[in-house]
Chains A and B, each alone.
Chain A
C-alpha cells in the first residue's frame, strides 16, 4: 500500500519536473466554448463548434545554444472536449529553449502499415476506413449558412500521398530566454477560415477526403497556433 502511494507520488513529481506543453483552444481572442457560443468567421459567417481535435507529432525543441533537442517521436491526439488530452508531458527536463517545432498530422509510414495502437488506434475515429488514412484534424459544428443536411459543418482534414499532403510543420519562437517548464500554446479555430484562401462555409460546409480543399484548409490551420504564455 505504502509502495503504491510512493509510486503515485513519484509519478506526480516526475510530471511536474518535465517540460509541459499546454494547448488552449481559442475562437479569435476568446477561449473556445463548444456547443453554446456562436462565433463569426473572417467572411462573417456564423458558426457554433461541437468538436475540435488534431494530432501533434514530431515535437522538437531548440535550446539557447541553437541545438535541436530531439525527442522520441510520439503521436498526441488533442481533443478540445477532453482537457487532460490538451497537456503534453514531454519526456525532457525543464530547460532553456528558444523555439519549438511540431507537426500537425500523422506521417505517411503510419498511414500505410496497417493498424496502430495508443493515440493512433483507428477506434478513436480519426481514421478514414474506405480510403485508408488518418484524419489529421477535425473541426465540426453547425452554421445556418451551411447547405449540408441539418446545417452541419464538418471538416475532416488529412492526406499523406504526394499531391495530397496535408501534413504541416509548425515553428514557434519563444522570445524570452528563460528556464522553461511550461509553454501554453493557443489554437484558434477561426484561423481555419482565414488565410491565403479564406474558407466559406456556404461554399464548402464539408471536407471529407484528402485533396485540394483539405490542403488549403491545412494551410490555414497551420497558422492557428500562437504562444500565449511561457513559464
Chain B
C-alpha cells in the first residue's frame, strides 16, 4: 500500500511540475486565420509570432494612457472600437496639450495586409508605426525612454513582458511587437457583405443594385476584399489652406504625388465618420456630393475622376444601402478587443 502512495505522489508531482514549466516558459501560440478567398498577409509573422500573452500585453498597452506624456492619450483615445478604431465623430483627433492631429484617424482593421501605413504611406512597417503617435508633440508627446521607465516601475508589466517574450526586459522592440500583435488581430471579415459572398445571406434589392453600381464606379480604387487597392490617388479635393497637406508628396518629394492620399478601406464606413484625409466630409452624402459635383481637376487628379463621377440620387441611395452592408458588428463588439477588464466604456472614451 505504501509504495503505491509513493508512486502516486511522484506521478502527481511530475504532472504538476510539467504543468508549471509549460505554463511559465512558453507563451501560448495564437492562430491568425486568413479569411477564405483573401490573399496572404504582408506582415512577417515569423519575426513576431502571435501568442495569447503577446496579444493581451499589446491590448493592455493600446489602452494604457501611460504611453502618453500626461496619461490622457492612450492609442485607444483616438482609436475607438465602436468606430472600428477610428476617432468617432471627430474630423481631427485631440492630442496632448489641446492640440489637434493634422489628419483624420483612420479605422484600424486588416492591418496585416497593409504594406505601408498612414494616409501618405510614410511608415513602412506596422511595428514602427506607434513611434509616430507616441513621440508626436500633438499626439502622445512622450519618449520611449520614459515609457520604459514607467512600465518598469509598474507592478504588473515586467512579468507580463516575461510571459509574452520570455524575460522581464522591456524594450522598444518588445513594446512595438506587442502593440502589433494586438493590432494584427483586428481583422474585420464578417459583415453582411462577407456573408453574402459566402452564400450565407442575401442582399435586398437596393443593396444588390448598390453593389452593381459600386463594382462599376468605385471598385477600381476601393477594390475588394479590402475595399482599397492600397494605392495613392488624388480625388480632386482642394488643399485645406490651414493644414497645407500635400499628402504622398511629403514622402516622395515628387510633384507627381502632390495631393495624393491612400485609398481608404470602406469596411465599417458607416461608423467611421467624418470622412476624407482631413475629415472634411461629415456624412456619406457629402462624399457623394464631392464625387458628383465638386471635384477640382488639377495636374495630379486621378484619370478616373477627371470628368467627375456622375451619380443620381437613386444611385446614391442604393450605394449607401450597399456600403451599410460593410458594417461588421461582430468586430465592433468583439470582447477580445475591448478594454482589458472593462465592461462599460471607460472615461477616456468620452467624446468631446
Which A residues form the contact surface with B (CB < 8 A)? 111-117, 121-123, 127, 129-133, 209, 211
Contact = CB atoms under 8 A, between A and B. Distances in A.
Contact of A129 (B44, B47, B48, B132): B132
Interface residues of chain A: helix, strand, loop or mixed (majority): loop
B185 to A, nearest CB: 17
Interface string B174-205: 00110000000000000000000000000000
B125 A112 contact: yes
A116 B136 CA distance: 20
Contacts, number: 62
A112 B172 contact: no
Contacts of A127: 131
B43 to A, nearest CB: 9
Nearest to A131: B122
Nearest to B126: A114
Given A129-B132, A131-B251, A132-B128, A116 B173 contact: yes
B219 interface: no
Interface residues of B, number: 27
Interface string B107-150: 00000000000100011111110011001100000011100100
A130 B128 contact: no
Given A123-B144, A133-B124, 15 more contacts: A113-B125, A114-B177, A115-B176, A116-B173, A117-B171, A123-B172, A129-B128, A129-B132, A129-B136, A130-B118, A130-B122, A130-B132, A131-B250, A132-B122, A132-B125
Given A114-B176, A129-B135, A121 B125 contact: no
Contacts of A209: 253
Contacts of A114: 47-48, 125-128, 173, 176-177
A116 B132 CA distance: 16
A115 B127 contact: yes
B262 to A, nearest CB: 14
A112 to B, nearest CB: 5
Nearest to B145: A123
Most buried by A among B44, B118, B124, B177: B124
Most buried by B among A117, A122, A129, A132: A132
A209 B250 CA distance: 9
Contacts of A112: 124-125
Contact of B131 (A111, A116, A129, A211): A129
Nearest to B174: A115
Given A115-B177, A121-B172, A209-B253, A130 B144 contact: no
Sorted nearest first, the 8 A-B pairs with minimum C-beta distance are: A114-B127, A123-B144, A129-B132, A115-B173, A129-B131, A131-B122, A132-B124, A114-B125
A127 to B, nearest CB: 7
24 contacts: A112-B124, A112-B125, A113-B44, A113-B47, A114-B125, A114-B126, A114-B127, A114-B176, A114-B177, A115-B173, A117-B172, A117-B173, A122-B172, A123-B144, A127-B131, A129-B123, A129-B128, A129-B131, A129-B136, A130-B118, A130-B123, A130-B132, A131-B251, A133-B124
Contacts of B123: 129-132
Contacts of A117: 171-173
Nearest to A113: B125
Nearest to A211: B253
A115 B171 CA distance: 10
Nearest to B118: A130
A112 B43 CA distance: 12
Contacts of B173: 114-117, 121
